[in-house]
Amino acid sequence: DVVMTQSPLSLSVPLGQAASISCRSSQSLVHRTGNTFLNWFLQRPGQSPRRLIHLSFIRESGVPDRFSGSGSGSDFTLNISRVEAEDVGVYYCMQGTHWPPYTFGQGTKLDIK
């Protein structure tokens, strides 16, 4: 199974400041098709997860452009350029290249300092 490792596991950021979450996989996530099936999700308190990014860098419709995904191979990053109050929650990376199983990172909890 592909192991997804996120860091840090918690993050406290002042409003308006930048935040960065790392996600590393135990093997390359480049699929034989050339796609990289790496997704980022946000789960706000008391809510279901919401996908922010798919294919490692493509922002979902309606996701603010302060969110960006980058990286390749086995090393990925979610960046938030200016943190807002609504960004609080737990962020998960997930790989869909080598399945089954699909595997998630442990989650990174973001709160406002």
Partner 1 sequence: EVQMVESGGGLVQPGGSLRLSCVASGYNFNIYPMHWVRQVPGKGLEWVSRISDDGRSATYANFVKGRFTISRDNAKNTVDLQMNSLESEDTAVYYCTGDANSLGDAWGPGTTVTVSS
| Backbone region of residue 91 per phi and psi (left: phi > 0; alpha: psi in -120 to 50; beta: other values) | beta
Q: Which is nearer to partner 1, 2 or 68 (CB)?
A: 2
Binding residue (CB under 8 A) for partner 1 from 10, 55, 75, 111: 55
Interface with partner 1, residue 9, by CB under 8 A: no
x/- track of binding to partner 1 for residues 18-37 (CB under 8 A) = -------------------x
Dig out the tokens for 51 from the structure.
């996908």
Q: Does 67 bind partner 1 (CB under 8 A)?
A: no
